[in-house]
Structure 1
Amino acid sequence: MMKALGLGVLTGVLVATVAASLVFALTDRPAAPAGARAAFLREPSGQAAAPGQSPDATPTGQAAAPGQSPDATPTGRAAAPRRSEDPTPTGRAAAPHQSQDPTPEKADFAGRVTGSGALVALSVREGRAVGYFCDGRREVWMSGDARDNRVTLTAPEGGKALMTADLDEDGATGNLVFGEDAFRFTAPVVERPSGLYRATEQVRGASVVGGWIVLPNGRQVGAVSFGGVEQPAPRLVPGRNVRIDDVTLEPEPVDAFMEELTHG
């Protein structure tokens, strides 16, 4: 009876000792912070998020770069520097704006010389220009450049003539210096059959050159040079040949001789 009582007491002491040890072990272990537990539960991959990091900042589990918005880069890499709207698709700097020359690529002008019975004609083709002055007795051909709505023409070597003119949509206005004389002129825009005509021929070793200016109202003036000696030209009917003395000339519009006078 006594043995049984002692065995029961000993067993009770052992059970109490073991229970006390278990309670001590469980209560002595520090509890994880509530935030960490919450992060653990919310990680899709089952891994706890780094301390101080928003749980869903980087789906791959990598920490976002310092100073970067957590959801800026889905892959967790640092975002590229933000670029301003680039006006050029290639990202290169835009070329400086280049203004275009307002001079017309193709235009014809013809009109009267102020204070004179002479006429003047001017034609522009892609930056080049030819001009002609004639009063029926004297004549001069000129050529030069057309740029920024202005032309500057000179006669061939030895021909003392200079023409300058400003161009606009209505016509050409300018000045002509020929020998010792100076003239001012206004030449409206014209269209064929009005405008400038020229014919050349070689006769018995001499150069024959004819020039005509035809106005829209039918008025015209022209001269023919035989070896450098001028005389009035017969009346021109555009599209037909002209015969003077025993010479037949074939007058042509300006497009046919522009190259010859500007680069010949």
Structure 2
Amino acid sequence: MSRLGPMYTLAAGAVIAVALGAASLKAAPVIQQVAAQEDTSQTASPAEASASAAPEASATPVPTPTATKADTATAVATPADTTPKKVDYAGVAQGNGGLVAIAVRNGKAVAYFCDGHIEAWLKGTAENNTITLEGKDSLITAALGGGKAQGRLQVGHAKWRFVAPVVKKPSGLYRATAIVRGAKIVGGWIVLPNGQEVGRVAIGGNGEPAPRFTPGSPLDYYGIALRPRDPDSFIDEVTP
């Protein structure tokens, strides 16, 4: 019995050692795994660390250019209107032989057409070197430039082209008005530089060829004194 005691003691020690070894083997992978995770987090690249640590960058607004006074002035600047402020034109209606006279005064325009048999007073505007004039059953559209007015004239259903050069007094357009016994008398004349002259005088709805006159002088019309005036004095009173 005394010999078996030590042997049991050795056997028990061996069993305990084996058990401890097995326990250490089972615990080692867990320790290594934790250590590996710690190493990975500690050895991350600086770029990755910065990316994970840096806050998300906000978009930087792009500054909007501010318009200067010069830019604004350039944007709103428009070419100056070169339409003549004061000018008179007179010429011949092509294909008809009648005369056309146009007067421009500070953006306003008045015109008269007469061939001795029919006549038309027209009124409108002049801007951007063009004119558009309207009258009773009549229309004039023309371009201004090069010392002339050039365009189209329509009276009723008839249409003609015309070229009317710039003219100076005593040439140009004239108009005379009077009231006799409640009836309005209106006379119109066109005088060309070559001395050609045409006109009509209307009383109420009736008219006839006007007598010749000398610019600047009154004329006698059946005992009625008519005083033809230039456009400066009547451009605002024309009512076609």
Quote the residue 1:122 is aligned against.
Answer: 102
Alignment partner of 2:213 out of 236, 241, 246: 236
**Corresponding position of 1:145:** 125
Partner AA of 1:245 in structure 2: Y
Query: Which structure carries more relative contact order (alpha carbon 8 Å, separation 6+)?
Result: 2
CA contact (8 A) 1:138 1:230 kept: no
Query: Deviation at 1:228?
Result: 1.7
Kindly indicate whether residue 111 of structure 2 is the aligned counterpart of residue 134 of structure 1: no
Aligned to 1:103: 83
Look up the SS of the partner of 1:164 in the other structure: strand
- Structure-1-length-normalised TM-score: 0.62
Corresponding residue number in structure 1 for 2:154: 177
Q: Aligned with 2:236: secondary structure?
A: helix
Match of 2:73 in 1: 94
Distance 1:197 1:239 in 2: 10
TM-score, structure 2 normalization: 0.68
Work out the CA distance in 1 between the residues paired with 2:197 and 2:205: 22
**Unaligned stretches of 5+ in structure 1?**
1-85
Partner Cα distance (1:184, 1:94) in 2: 41
Q: Which consecutive unaligned segments of at least 5 residues does structure 2 have?
A: 1-67
For 1:164 and 1:98, locate their aligned partners in 2 and report how far apart those are by CA, in whole Å: 24
From the superposition, tell whether residues 227 and 87 of structure 1 become closer, same or farther in structure 2 (CA, over 3 Å): closer
**For residue 222 of structure 2, what is the aligned residue in structure 1?**
245
Matched, 1:209 2:186: yes
- Cα deviation for residue 93 of structure 1 reads 5.0
Root-mean-square deviation (Å): 1.8
State the secondary structure of the residue aligned to 1:137.
coil
CA distance in 2, matches of 1:221, 1:99: 39
Say whether residues 1:168 and 2:145 are aligned partners.
yes
The alpha-carbon distance between structure 1 residues 93 and 171, as it changes in their structure 2 partners (threshold 3 A), is closer
Distance in 1 between residues matched to 2:97 and 2:200, nearest whole Å: 14
2:134 partner letter: T
SS of 2:232's equivalent?
helix
Task: Give the paired residue count.
Answer: 172
2:195 and 2:114 map into 1 onto residues whose CA distance is 16
Q: Is the 8 A contact 1:103 1:146 kept in 2?
A: yes
Partner SS, residue 213 of structure 2: coil
Letter paired with 1:202? I
* 1:186-212 Cα shifts (integer Å, max 9, x gaps): 100001110000000001111100000
CA distance in 1, matches of 2:216, 2:106: 25
CA distance in 1, matches of 2:151, 2:72: 42
Q: Letter of the aligned partner of 2:190 in structure 1?
A: I
Letter of the aligned partner of 1:94 in structure 2?
A
Using the TM superposition, give the Cα deviation of residue 120 of structure 1 relative to its aligned residue in structure 2, in angstroms: 0.4
